Structure 1
Amino acid sequence: VAKYLEQKYKKLYPSKRHYTIYNGIKPNLSFNNKYVDINKYLKLIKKTKIKILIVMNYEFMQKVLYINKLLPVIKKITNEYSALFVFIGGGKYLSGVKSYFNSQKGVVFLGKLPRNEVLKLMPYFDIFFYPSGLDVLPNAVLEASVSNLPIISTSVGGIPEMIIDKETGFLIKNIRKDSYTYLKLLIEDEEMRYNIARKGMEYVTTKFNLNKVSNHFLQIIKSEINRL
């Protein structure tokens, strides 16, 4: 799934052959949106100038490790700009995450939504923010890139394989300092948002193209058959 995992397993099983097969994604996200009504969400988010989307799985403690450190960052950003942070996702730690932002303005939790609704909502946002404490190759980041959103993400797991830092997105090393710096940068510079999003989409739709990934998988299968 990611070079990050391949390296880990090479150390555990050095005598085995290891391959990385990425999650593939179609250049144009297609989904059945015939019965998807997002107007109730659009009324909420359209009131704000800058809309920042966070889509995460709150089922795992390691993923939410950094969330509590973001309160001062979000507080500062919403005080300085007309910005709205929209959290989407479910899981057993969601209630704990929500409690961090109980009285914070500019923060909304939509809970767990069907994938079709999330994909249809994505293009209405300005920035995709992914502050996960642990991950391998999150589909949400791929989908946000294909939806033409500039990405700010923690530099964990296989995420650096998805983003070229400061070229196709921004990778966070220091959760508070870098989150604030990169959010501020993209909020203030619309042209940068556009350029980063465009480069990110080009990079992801090339490297993780579903046809390319499928062909790579077939080549691996053929090479293994030839070894028999």
Structure 2
Amino acid sequence: MSQAYNLCIIKPNKSAFSETFIQAHIDGLAGNKKVLYGGAFPVFDHEGKTLIRSKLGLLSYLIQKRIFKRKNIKVRTCALYKYLKEHKIDAVFAEYGMVGASVTEACKLAGVPLIIHFHGADVYHRDTVAEYAELYQDAFKYASAFIAVSIDMAATLKEMGAPADKVFTASCGVDTAAFPLLDTSASAKDFLFVGRFVEKKSPQSLVKAFKILQEKHPDARLWMVGGGPLFDETRELIADLGLNEQVTLTGVLKPEEIRTLMKTMRAFVQHSVTAANGDKEGTPVTVLEASSSGLPVISTRHSGIKEAVIDGETGFLVDEYNITGMAERMSTLAESVELSVQMGKAARNHMINNYDIHMRIALLDHIIQSSISNNKIK
């Protein structure tokens, strides 16, 4: 049984459909939780009120942030410091590196241990890393723990200056009970993608691979769920390739609608790549959810996907931008529903044994409690 403690979780967005992993932490972590949000540095407290109480203080903050573009703003650091003291917070759990770096000074003033959970762009997006470089170094000196979602990310954090003994690898998890094994033995040649239409997910590469598959298997279908900056561009490509009848763009769907869609699919497909700005995936939750549901995953040798998908056992991996290779792997599963079922069962077992959300939450809880205990010894 976890001991009682006061945990402050700080996240950038009030809510974002693609950040189910953050909600899983909020729902699952032990302790008495207070959730703050509102950008790289929290603007709002757990009741939705501004952390900076006075109108003059708010005005000062806005001028420094918007006009002078400052990262260290004393009035907001003091406001967070007061909040942490007032609510007797025992530890701060920051979602994303930018958030952790921004709140380091307040945590230091309050003497509260800080745990920073990195997810992807906060480690790989070059401009973001450069913008927060100085604050990252401060965070590396002060914070109690740094959580990476893949082995690759853990190595990069160490290269950036995070102390090796404080870096933990713990990808986001999946609720294997909420995503039970599906019977795909009667599935048609239908393939599913779920995610944001952004450069690092390269939806255009997936469409191009599907076009090659289509020429060999005219009865194949592709379902693409989500939205984002490359949505219109992807839609135009689909039209240019004459795939309007074969590719369905659903837009953003609710989780239960995605689960319903999964029931008819042969496999999950995602062609993740390193973006021009350096941005990469962490470990995509959609890949974990599909695997838990018994869908083999066809993806790329990219970041945490290399660990989540066992090539040739729970799905297939190809090199980034190997569009022909991806089409060939899709064709392999299009031609064998038996292989799809076999790989899907192996994928689910891999999730149960290595990615179940309860295991992940237990590990995070252990890291948090260890940080609190170590802080009391100081």
The answer to whether TM tops 0.5 is yes
Identify if the C-alpha distance between structure 1 residues 11 and 87 changes in structure 2 by more than 3 Å, giving closer, same or farther.
Answer: same
Identify if the C-alpha distance between structure 1 residues 95 and 212 changes in structure 2 by more than 3 Å, giving closer, same or farther.
Answer: same
Letter in 1 for 2:204: N
Which of these residues, 21, 25, 42, is aligned with residue 174 of structure 2? 25
Corresponding residue SS for 1:87: strand
Normalising by structure 2, we get a TM-score of 0.52
Matches within 5 A, 1:2-41: 2-15=150-163, 17-29=166-178
Question: Between the two proteins, what is the percent identity of the paired residues?
Answer: 24
2:249 corresponds in structure 1 to: 109
Letter in 1 for 2:154: E
1:100 corresponds in structure 2 to: 237
CA shift digits 1:160-215 (9 cap, x unpaired): 11011111111111522221221111111121111110001100122011221122
Tell me if 1:196 matches 2:343. yes
Q: Distance in 2 between matches of 1:209 and 1:124?
A: 24
2:108 corresponds in structure 1 to: none
Letter in 2 for 1:190: V
Instruction: Give the aligned length.
Output: 209
1:43 corresponds in structure 2 to: none
1:75 corresponds in structure 2 to: 211
Matches within 5 A, 1:67-216: 67-81=203-217, 82-102=219-239, 103-104=242-243, 105-133=245-273, 134-173=280-319, 175-216=322-363
The structure having more radius of gyration, on CA atoms, is: 2
CA shift digits 1:4-42 (9 cap, x unpaired): 221111111143611122212222216xxxxxxxxxxxx
* C-alpha contact (below 8 Å) 1:4/1:136 kept by paired residues: no
* C-alpha contact (below 8 Å) 1:70/1:175 kept by paired residues: no
RMSD: 2.1
Q: Distance in 2 between matches of 1:71 and 1:226?
A: 51
Unaligned runs of 5+ in 2: 1-148, 180-186, 274-279
Which of these residues, 58, 63, 66, is aligned with residue 201 of structure 2? 63
Letter in 2 for 1:187: A
Identify if the C-alpha distance between structure 1 residues 71 and 227 changes in structure 2 by more than 3 Å, giving closer, same or farther.
Answer: closer
Shift of residue 126 of structure 1?
1.0
Shift of residue 224 of structure 1?
3.0
Corresponding residue SS for 1:19: strand
* C-alpha contact (below 8 Å) 2:201/2:270 kept by paired residues: no
Identify if the C-alpha distance between structure 1 residues 121 and 68 changes in structure 2 by more than 3 Å, giving closer, same or farther.
Answer: closer
Identify if the C-alpha distance between structure 1 residues 11 and 194 changes in structure 2 by more than 3 Å, giving closer, same or farther.
Answer: same
Letter in 1 for 2:160: L
2:191 corresponds in structure 1 to: 52
Q: Distance in 2 between matches of 1:62 and 1:141?
A: 14
Moved more, 126-135 or 73-82: 73-82
Letter in 1 for 2:156: K
Unaligned runs of 5+ in 1: 31-47
Q: Distance in 1 between matches of 2:361 and 2:208?
A: 43
Q: Which has the higher contact order (CA 8 A, sep 6+)?
A: 1
* C-alpha contact (below 8 Å) 2:283/2:305 kept by paired residues: yes
Normalising by structure 1, we get a TM-score of 0.83
1:217 corresponds in structure 2 to: 364
Identify if the C-alpha distance between structure 1 residues 92 and 129 changes in structure 2 by more than 3 Å, giving closer, same or farther.
Answer: same
Corresponding residue SS for 1:153: strand
